[in-house]
Amino acid sequence: MVAAIRPAGKPDGVWALPKGLIDPGERAETTAAREVAKETGAGRLVRKLGDVRTMIRAPMYALNFYSPLVADQLRSHRKTATIRLGDKSRKYKKGMVVQVLCGTRFSPRERVFDAVIDKVEVKQLGDLSPREIEHDNPEIRRPDEMARFLTQLYNRDVTLDDTVTVIRFSAIGGPNQFF
């Protein structure tokens, strides 16, 4: 017998298997029985479960972009870096896998692709090379232009002396999904 539920808020015809978080100190089998009973209303009918598997997920980080123009640049691989204000080297590391997402703030985001971070470098904005700037924004080449762009983006004065983090990335996948 298979226990399936119709998740609330999903369209007709969508079914899912009962699932839940394991409480501290609880065995996976106990969690599975509790969740099947709770989500199906089967209660004491649950005696023995078949194969119970657990999945441990590492935290997933994302590079969020808020402009439809950026989404097009990402899809065409014209944008292969992001320049973020401040030192982000503790959050982003070389080799890390991230989701690259686009969408307006505080709304669902479109997953453009997953990416691996190739390089993370912290420097002053005035020390950026034209090539580093171009990988972030193909329309900009000079640090003073990037300072003006970041001033608009962050809604505060950004100068050539500000610290920035250059995060280079490469796409490793591409299904368009919404989150």
Highest-scoring range by mean pLDDT, 6-15, 75-84, 120-129 = 120-129
Q: At 46, is the pLDDT very low, low, confident or very high (cuts 50, 70, 90)?
A: low
Q: 80-105, pLDDT tens digit by residue?
A: 999 999 999 999 999 999 999 998 87
Write down the pTM of the prediction: 0.65
- Spell out the domain ranges in the chain: 1-56, 61-178
CATH of the structural domain 61-178, one choice from 2.40.110.10, 3.40.80.10, 3.40.980.10, 3.10.400.10: 3.10.400.10
Write out the chain in H/E/C secondary structure.
CCCCECCCCCCCCCCECCCCCCCCCCCHHHHHHHHHHHHHCCHHHCCCCCCCCCCCCCCCEEEEECCHHHHHHHHCCCCCEEEEECCCCCCCCCCCEEEEEECCCCCCCEEEEEEEEEEEEEEEHHHCCHHHHHHHCCCCCCHHHHHHHHHHHHCCCCCCCCEEEEEEEEECCCCCEEC
Q: 118-176, pLDDT tens digit by residue?
A: 999 999 999 999 999 999 998 999 999 999 999 998 899 999 999 999 999 999 854 44
